[in-house]
Every structure is written in structure tokens, then in C-alpha cells.
Amino acid sequence: MIVADHWSEIKDEDWPLTYFSPQEVACKGTGALKLDMGFGMTMDALRRHMGGPVRVSSWYRSPGHNAAVSSTGYDGPHTTGAAADVLISGPAAIRALRFMLSASIVRIGVQQSGPHESRFLHFDLSPDHRAALWSYG
């Protein structure tokens, strides 16, 4: 686990991910950072598999920021550093979904309606590894 009060505290040589920067992982509301290493490595593997950019709209969220933007409150999955929302749709979404399932990511939220630029898949690791699939909206 990597934890920092602000993403700018992370030195390049200490950052384990190849395809995602500390700023991309950090809380959009506070700049705080928490990264579950296993989940981060899986996200890096997803990026390699996709062969191009993987746009993350939300990864870590501080408890207060999560409570402000999500119905999951102060302890939702994004507060663990092991959850991310990936902006993706169409065939690319199916490809990403297949990959993440093969990587044992079995908690998945789906938002594939509305404007294409706001469609996303949510991936997270549950502490008890319980599978779940849900849709938003």
C-alpha cells in the first residue's frame, strides 16, 4: 500500500506503476493518495492489454470527498485505493471487462447509457472477494 497526504509527495523512483501517474490515482477533491498495490498492478496490466490509453475518471477518494460525491459514504470502495472508474464504452468496454474478469476483478459497476464520453466501468476489489455486478442510473 502506498499512502500520501498529497500525490506530489511521491517520488518518481518510488512509484510502482508504469501507465498511471500518482496524480491520476489521487483523490480529485483533496489530492490525497492511497494505492492498493495488487489493484494498481492489475490496472497497469489492463492498460498493457488494451494497447493504448485507459482514462480513469476516479480512483482513490478520501473519505470526506467520497461522502460528498457517492452514496457509499465515508467508507466506499474508492476509499480503499482498490477501486477505479474507467471511461470506456462499446467494444473496448467489452474487451476491458473480459480482461478484468480474467484477472479476478469480480466487483463491477456498469454505466453504458448516455453520452459516450461519460460512459464507464467501475472495477474494485472487495476485502472478502465477494462478486457483485450492478448498473448505475
Q: List, for residues 55-67, the tens digit of each pLDDT value.
A: 999 999 999 999 9
pLDDT > 90? residue 130: no
pLDDT > 80? residue 137: no
> What distance in Å separates the CA atoms of residue 35 and residue 80, rounded to the nearest whole number?
8
pLDDT > 80? residue 127: no
Q: Do 25 and 82 form a contact (C-beta atoms < 8 A)?
A: no
| Global confidence as pTM | 0.92
> What distance in Å separates the CA atoms of residue 7 and residue 70, rounded to the nearest whole number?
22
- Mean pLDDT for all residues in the chain: 94
